[in-house]
Amino acid sequence: MYEEQLNDPGAVQVEQRTAPPYESAIERASLVEEMIYEGMRDGVWSYYMSLHPSDRAAVLTELPAGIRRSLAQEMQPETLAGLLDYMEPRISARVLRQFSADALADVLDLTDPATSTEILGRLPGGKRLDTIAAMEASRPVEALLRYEEDSIGRLADVRTPVLSEDTTVPIALDRLRLMGTAAEEMRSLLVVNNYGFLVGSLNPVRLALARPSATVGQIMDRDITSVTTSMDEQVAVQIMSQLRVSELPVVEEDGRLVGLVRAEDAVEVVEDIATEDMYRMAGIGEERITGPLAESVRSRFPWLALNLVTVFLAAAVIGLFESTIARVVALAAFLPVVAGQGGIGGTQTVTLVVRSLATGGLPRGLGLRILRREMILGLIHGLVLGAIIGGIGWVWEGNAILGGVLALAMTGNMVVASVAGAGVPLLLRRLRMDPAVSAAVFVTTFTDVIGFALFLGLATIFIEFLL
């Protein structure tokens, strides 16, 4: 392997190239791709292995699928395992899907169990079972795979050191010393009873200052908050944020300790949820900017097709009022103004509501209150904007009635936009559907259709005063 040659003192040495700090992952990936095409295989390894593991992972993610697979196959298991914690599980699964079960097991045995579980969960059933059977450290992974994909149980660090409540202080200190440098990062030690049930936590400083004759149970803190394995990871992260804690124990329904979730895991969950919600609202799934074209087409086209249907619906509404527009051509100039303002207002509201739902800031009992609040906001904005656009229409066309029609249509559409922006996500939640799934597309349809219907309908009623 090229990696073995690179680490061999007797191998031919190549020029070391370290990327400047300002180079992005895309730029580095382009450089690797260029070097491969130019036949500089040894140079690629020299350059690639000089990067920090997080940068190697980022470069591997941005490379074309074929080069990514080839590069991964050249790596030693420990090298590849060191990158997986920095990569998205779906990308890691694509990279590792080509490996045999034995080769994959060698890599995952060196990987954090939570990361291994996420990767295995994305592999075909047969490949997953064969890999687990070939792993030497399969027990933690098998334990985590029992939990639902988005549950906090999947994120628990099952290798968290624990102490028994009847352990004496000297023995507990000895165990702490055996952990080596890993003990320096521990904020607290979890304590269980003889049956494995969580009973408390112990600060390492309190342990160090305790009397030698004391037991862990006598000096531990019994006031400890935990979450069950079945709890949604998003809810568990919200609890961590509310309690302002950096660690949260995870237990079975009966209180038996499973592991620990740390702040860094929570940060990843928050980032993933925020990104996922943003992508879903735009209807682009998990697409990457440098990803394959086929993936982008699969991700975007369904929502573009749905939007095409909604556009034709709005066009059909305009078609109903062709005679009105033919008689007063000036109406056509103001159609996008009324619909556009409604669309912006609706998008503002739907973004705020979806984000509040995602972060737990909108309990179920507040739905009607939120609708009423947004309706009032829409009315206020509509009256102000309606007065402005009505005045402009009056001055522009010299017709006060046209200005009044514009003002009424703008006010009505802003109210509809606010109600739809809040109501659509709330309705999706009530139907047990994801509120983030392109709610903006549906809200824009409401504002376009209602905006056109209001404006042209009012114009039809007052047509004799507009001529």
Q: pLDDT (tens digit, 0 to 9) for every residue of the chain, 467 residues total?
A: 444 444 444 333 434 444 444 467 888 888 888 888 887 877 888 888 888 888 888 888 888 878 888 888 888 899 999 898 888 888 888 888 889 999 999 999 999 888 898 899 888 888 899 999 999 988 888 888 888 888 898 888 887 888 999 999 999 999 888 877 767 777 888 999 999 999 999 988 899 899 999 999 999 999 989 999 999 888 888 888 888 888 899 999 999 999 888 887 777 776 666 666 666 555 555 556 556 677 667 767 777 787 788 788 888 888 888 888 888 888 888 888 888 888 888 888 888 887 777 666 676 777 788 889 999 999 999 999 999 999 998 988 888 998 999 999 999 999 999 998 888 888 877 877 766 665 667 788 888 888 888 889 998 998 888 87
User: Rounded to an integer, what distance in angstroms lies between the CA atom of residue 176 and that of residue 376?
Assistant: 60
Give me the pLDDT at residue 359, please. 65
The token pair that represents 254 in the structure block = 């009966």
Give me the pLDDT at residue 12, please. 38
Give me the pLDDT at residue 361, please. 66
Residue 3, number of CB atoms within 10 A of its CB: 15
Task: Return the sign of the alpha-carbon dihedral for residues 390, 392, 394, 397.
Answer: negative
Best CA proximity match to 111, nearest among 96, 126, 98, 125: 96
Kindly report, residue by residue over 219-242, the tens digit of the pLDDT. 999 998 999 999 988 888 888 888
Interstrand relation of 162-164 and 189-192 (parallel, antiparallel or unpaired):
parallel
Predicted model pTM: 0.58
Kindly report, residue by residue over 123-148, the tens digit of the pLDDT. 888 889 999 999 998 888 888 888 88
Give me the pLDDT at residue 2, please. 43
Buried b (16+ CB within 10 A) or exposed e, 176-214: beeeeeeeeebebbbbbeeeeebbbbbebeebeebeeee
Burial of 344 (0-12, 13-18, 19+ CB in 10 A): middle
DSSP assigned state of 151: B
Whole-Å CA distances, 308 to 154, 294, 300, 346, 438: 40, 20, 12, 19, 14
